[in-house]
Amino acid sequence: MEKLSEILRAIVLGAVQGLTEFLPVSSSFHLRLVPALFHWPEMTLSFSAFLHLGTLLAIAVYFGKDLWNIGLEGFKALFEPNFSLMRFSNSLAFKIIIGSIPAVLIGFFLHDKLEELDKNLFLTSIFLIIISFMLLSSDLFAVKKNNLEELKTSESFAIGLGQALALIPGVSRSGATISVGRFFGFKRESAARYSFLLGFPVILGAGLLETLKLFKNAKSVANSPDLWACFIGFATAAIVGYLVIGFFLKFLQNSTLLSFVIYRLIVGSTCLVLLSMGIIK
């Protein structure tokens, strides 16, 4: 029975990770809320690492061709005989590198402090509500740019700052980056597509960081869940994440972000009420 419960938890949490990593609703908030609601034990480092790697696989599979072309474009710009710094700086690969810098630096130096914030469901709920207004206001901006080729390096860095802000639990990486992209006049689908591409190195880094911490902490390894549960969580996160990416990009072709704003406000407020009543901790 305990084995079945562990597998069920792995499926549920894998689905939660796959759903909320790519929708602008904050995966860190939901991965804290769901175990609190069901009074499940805290996720171990190994299980968390597998969940991150699952959503990383979803991005790699869905955007495999795009990632290959972006990497190839950057490689050619760097190593062709007629190297041009201007040509390389105009490549999408360079812009993704520039956009990744803020989150990599902040995540590296402030990882432990951010991890402490992640344990505070009250603050996470507050951020979930606050960023809703950022998401709502950004969605009112008129479309001026339809293609990622129009993305400037300065805009990429600004979107990267939004991604760094999303290291605060409850903000939502996709929500923050899509919002900044919308502020610069990109249509919703283009802003979301760039958000997912920009997320690839950051999610990869997060997964590797948690994996390194896992191997450095013998206690975490000893208390890690059954390996099958890790793989089930990984597979569930990858499959659900892949489906959610496709759904979300199609959804944004004809729909606004208002439904996600309403969801964040309702869920964040409900969580605060449950916390105040002592139903969850």
Scanning 2-91, the segments in alpha helix (DSSP H) are: 2-20, 27-38, 45-62, 64-79, 85-89
Residue 93 lies in a domain: yes
Residue 121 is part of which domain span?
2-276
Q: Looking at the 3D structure of the chain, how many domains does it have?
A: 1
Query: What are 34-69's pLDDT values in tens digits?
Result: 999 998 988 887 888 899 999 999 999 999 999 999
Is 281 inside any structural domain? no
How many CB atoms within 10 Å of residue 10? 25
- Count the Cβ atoms, other than its own, within 10 Å of residue 87: 15
Q: Is residue 262 part of a domain?
A: yes
Least confident of 54-58, 83-87, 165-169, 190-194: 83-87
Percentage above 90 pLDDT, the chain: 63
SS3 content of the chain, % helix, strand, coil (to 5): 80, 0, 20
In eight-state DSSP terms, residue 21 is: T
Residue 218 in any domain: the answer is yes
Q: Is residue 271 part of a domain?
A: yes
pLDDT beyond 70 at 77: yes
In a domain, 101, yes or no: yes
Residue 43 lies in a domain: yes
Mean pLDDT over residues 126-135, rounded? 96
**Predicted confidence (pLDDT) per residue in 79-107, tens digit:** 776 666 667 788 899 999 999 999 989 98
CA distance 169 to 114: 8
Q: Which two tokens stand for residue 139?
A: 């969605």
Residue 68 is assigned to a structural domain of this protein:
yes
Other CB atoms within a 10 A radius of the CB of residue 69 amount to: 13
Q: pLDDT tens digits, residue range 213-263? A: 666 665 555 455 478 899 999 999 999 999 999 999 999 999 999 999 999
